[in-house]
Every structure is written in C-alpha cells, then in structure tokens.
C-alpha cells in the first residue's frame, strides 16, 4: 500500500515523552524511523529509573535521526512536551508531531498526519471519526475516553471529536500561535488545552482516523489525579472565557465548521 507522499524539503520531528518505557522505546523508535524515512525523533525522558535513556543513546540512529532530552525527574507529560516542543522550535523544525512511546499510536499513520498538514495547521490522530477506533481497551477505559470527549465537547463547545488524543502533528507556526509553551496543564488536560487554543485561535484542525491499541508492555502512568485535572481545568477555561466575553475582552470562539474538518 502506498502511503501519502510528503514534501521532501520540510524538516520534521516526532516528540516522544518517556517514563519507564524500556520495554517499548526501541520498538517505537524503529517503527517510526521505518514508517517515515524523512523524520527525526526526539525522546524526552524524565530520568526513567529503568534506563530508558541509555537504550536511546545506544540506538544506531542516536545523534543523527534520534535525539534525546533528559530532564532531572518525573515532571509530568505536559511539562515533558513543553520541553520537547521548545527544543523543536529552537531547532527550526517546520512540522512537529507528538506520540506516546507505548505503541498505542500507530507509527504507520505518521505519514498521513504529516500529509494532512498540507491543508491544516493541526492534524489529530483520531479514534472517533469514521475509520478510527480502539483495540483491546476495557469497557471502563472506553467509557472514560468517550465520556471525556463528550464532556469536553459540551463544556467547551468544540467540534473536535477526539480532543484528548495524544497523537498529533502541528505546523511550527501553529505551535507558536497556540502558545504551547505558555500552557500550564499536564495530563490529558494538556491535549485538551491545545485543542481548545487551536480552535479558539482560528487554526485549521483536522482529524485523521487511527486505530489506538492498548499498551501491551510497561505500565500506564494514567491516574485519578490526571483525570481530575482535566475535568476541573475544562470548567475553569470555559468560565474564564465567558467572564472575559461579558467584560468584552478575550478571544471570540470560532465555531465555523470550515475550520474543523475530518480527513479520511
């Protein structure tokens, strides 16, 4: 099967945050490098006790297509992404993607995500558009994920179907307009906040179908406090937006359907 052809002169990097992903990191690095011969990878590791960073340093692509940013300790997913995105923006990359290390996000859909940036500012690998789905998830995880997206849609009024997705690609100017380095949230809230800022700032957000597979190795870092953070922050953002609108300041919501689309 022929995948989308990508324009050759753009510099692309995939940011992968890791914490104790020794069981997965080499497999995901190899799969990404194979699926997208034109991309580089930045692993952002929070000094994982299981030696994830040493495995990255030992990878045959290290120093060429594989890069490593080590942070002093576990500081959360959002903080790791902010550090990785800052590195990528400083490095002058044109297109920047993000994905988990646990193979939940299919590396072979990266070319489709980058290809979608030809007509979009942000491309979201989406479980909840036609052609997308989840595999091997328990009923409770399915309900939490679906329920979370319904909640986000209702409270924030965004038409993005998978606002919590962690598999995305951005044009560099989109990351700057989203002010991703100025975001404060960490877990799923980090993904929601960027979705919210992108739509509110009138960026073109498109959803590309993917099949999400539950991790089979390593341990999940998902926790109740991560879910609570998302629930509360969404309410706070909406409240602040309504307050600012009453005062006549702040951004106007962009609900134009032309701004959010779904790619097959």
Ligand X SMILES: Nc1nc2c(ncn2[C@@H]2O[C@H](COP(=O)(O)OP(=O)(O)OP(=O)(O)O)[C@@H](O)[C@H]2O)c(=O)[nH]1
Residues near ligand X (CB under 6 A) are 17-19, 21, 44-46, 74-77, 80, 100-102, 104, 215, 220-222
Give the residue nearest to Mg ion (CB).
102
**Is residue 40 within 8 Å of 65, Cβ to Cβ?**
yes
Per the DSSP assignment, residues forming a β-bridge with 124 are: 168, 207
- The one of ligand X, Mg ion, none whose footprint includes residue 241, by CB under 5 to 8 A per kind, is none
102 sits near Mg ion (criterion: CB under 5 A)? yes
Place of tokens 């940011």: 15
The residue (of 121 and 170) whose beta carbon lies closer to ligand X is 170
**Is residue 102 within 8 Å of 21, Cβ to Cβ?**
yes
Place of tokens 């957000």: 205
Per-residue x/- marks for Mg ion, 35-74, CB under 5 A?
A: ----------------------------------------
- Closest contact distance (angstroms) between CB of 27 and ligand X is 12
- Closest contact distance (angstroms) between CB of 162 and Mg ion is 14
Question: Which range touches Mg ion (CB under 5 A), out of 4-12, 25-33, 103-111, 131-139?
Answer: 103-111
Burial call 127-151: b when 16+ CB within 10 Å, e when fewer: bbbeebebeebeeeeeebbeebbeb
The residue (of 6 and 28) whose beta carbon lies closer to ligand X is 28
E strand map for 84-240 = 95-98, 122-126, 133-135, 168-171, 205-209, 211-213
Q: What is the largest CA-CA distance in the chain?
A: 57
The residue (of 102 and 207) whose beta carbon lies closer to Mg ion is 102
The residue (of 100 and 162) whose beta carbon lies closer to Mg ion is 100
The residue (of 60 and 142) whose beta carbon lies closer to Mg ion is 142
Question: Which range touches Mg ion (CB under 5 A), out of 64-72, 92-100, 135-143, 148-156?
Answer: 92-100
Query: Measured between alpha carbons, how far is 158 from 151 in angstroms, rounded to an integer?
Result: 10
């Amino acid at each position: 099967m022929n995948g989308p052809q990508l324009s050759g002169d753009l510099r692309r990097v995939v940011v992968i945050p890791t914490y104790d992903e020794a069981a997965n990191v080499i497999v995901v690095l190899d799969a990404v490098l194979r699926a997208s011969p034109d991309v580089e990878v930045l692993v952002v590791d929070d000094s994982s006790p299981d030696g994830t960073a040493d495995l990255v340093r030992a990878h045959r692509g290290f120093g060429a297509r594989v890069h490593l940013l080590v942070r002093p300790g576990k500081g959360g997913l959002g903080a790791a992404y902010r550090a990785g995105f800052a590195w990528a923006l400083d490095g002058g990359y044109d297109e920047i993607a993000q994905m988990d290390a646990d193979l939940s996000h299919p590396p072979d859909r990266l070319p489709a995500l980058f290809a979608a940036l030809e007509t979009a500012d942000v491309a979201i690998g989406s479980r909840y558009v036609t052609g997308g789905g989840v595999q091997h998830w328990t009923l409770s995880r399915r309900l939490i994920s679906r329920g979370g997206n319904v909640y986000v849609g209702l409270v924030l009024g965004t038409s993005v179907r998978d606002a919590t997705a962690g598999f995305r690609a951005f044009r560099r100017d989109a990351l700057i307009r989203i002010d991703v380095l100025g975001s404060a949230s960490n877990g799923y809230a980090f993904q929601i906040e960027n979705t919210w800022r992108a739509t509110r700032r009138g960026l073109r957000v498109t959803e590309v179908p993917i099949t999400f597979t539950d991790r089979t190795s390593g341990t999940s870092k998902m926790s109740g406090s991560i879910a609570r953070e998302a629930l509360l922050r969404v309410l706070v953002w909406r409240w602040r937006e309504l307050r600012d609108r009453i005062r006549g300041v702040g951004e106007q919501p962009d609900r134009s359907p032309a701004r959010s689309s779904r790619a097959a």
